[in-house]
Amino acid sequence: MSATIPLIDIYVMGKQYMVPETLTIIEAMEYAGYHFKRGCGCRAGFCGACATVYRMAGDFELKVGLACQTKVEPGMYLTQIPFFPGRKANFDLEEIKPSVADFAQLYPEVFRCLGCSSCTKVCPQDIDVMQCIASIQQGDFTRAADISFDCVMCGLCVSRCPVHIVQYNAALTARRLYSRHIAPPSSQLKRRNEELKAGDFEAGIQELMKADKERLQELYNSRDIE
């Protein structure tokens, strides 16, 4: 890191540190001397390990973000929420149906949603979490699955929900229900697996396995490309 980058002050759990202004929150904490165990996973915005809550000096509004995808700013007061004790309901996907009744057995709290929209406001992935919950309430699992698809399960929504809904687990259940029971299964895939079971491709592969490198190269270079 070049020495000319200006330093700014941030406050990690209330303690002041001077850090280069170009760093992400994760990097800034490392610069300050933290060696992460929790709160750091993919470092690229995909895993949701690094949920962070912060506030800017002089402002009352609480903001949130993924620490690996948010640049530090002067006067940032922050802490990570590396774990949140959200409940997961266990189920047998073959047994349950995409119905409001079955869903209510698993996650009754979903039907107590107040419509406050705290979850949507807090989502670092810009998902309309409340609409996803509303879709589940209406039994529209297709829509719930579509809306929630980009969820990285960081847990920030859960931390703000006044009626204790675990949105990310409910949404995941909705997506699995949709994919297993609503989206039609692939008939191509079924056919291919029947062919495989009958051993249809064994001979072709055996032949390639026996071929030497020159022969394989020849076949490879002359293969037709879709």
Partner 1 sequence: MAYTAQLKELVKIVEKTRPSRVGVDHPRMTPEERQEVLERFHPDFIDEGFRRIRVGVDKGSRLPQQMADIFESRSRLDGVELDLSKSDYEVDVLVIGGGGAGAAAALEAHGGGASVMIATKLRFGDANTMMAQGGIQAAVKANDRPDIHYLDIMGGGRFENIPELVRAAVLDAPQVIAWLEKLGAMFDKDEQGNMLAIHGGGTSRKRMHAARDYTGAEIMRTLRDEAYNREIKVVEFCPAVELLLDAKGRAAGAVLFNLETEEYLIARAKTVIIATGGSGRLHFQDFPTSNHYGATADGLILGYRAGAKTIYADSVQYHPTGGAYPPQLLGLLVTEKTRGLGATPLNVKGEQFVFHLETRDVESSAIIRECQERKLGVPLPTGVPAVWLDSPLIEIIHGEGTIERQLPAMLRQFARFDVDIRKDPMLIYPTLHYQNGGLLIDEHARSTVENLYVAGEAAGGIHGRNRLMGNSLLDILVFGRRAGRDAAAASREVTPGPVSLEHVQSYQRELEEAGITGDRVSPLLLPHYTHR
Question: In whole angstroms, what is the distance from residue 190 CA to residue 144 CA?
Answer: 27
49-88 footprint of partner 1 as x/- string (CB under 8 A): x-------------------xxx----------------x
Phi-psi region of 45 (alpha: psi -120 to 50; beta: other; left: phi over 0): left
Give me the least distance between CB of 25 and ligand FES, in Å please. Answer: 9
Site size toward partner 1 (CB under 8 A) is 71
Q: Does 41 bind ligand FES (CB under 6 A)?
A: yes
Is residue 104 near ligand FES by the rule CB under 6 A?
Answer: no
| Residue 185 beta carbon to partner 1: minimum distance, rounded to whole angstroms | 5
Tell me the DSSP string of 76-132.
Answer: EEEEE------------TTT--SSHHHHHHH-GGGGG-----HHHHH-TT---HHHH
User: Residues 8, 10, 12, 24: which binds partner 1 (CB under 8 A)?
Assistant: 24
Q: Which residues bind ligand FES (CB under 6 A)?
A: 40-43, 45-50, 66-68, 152
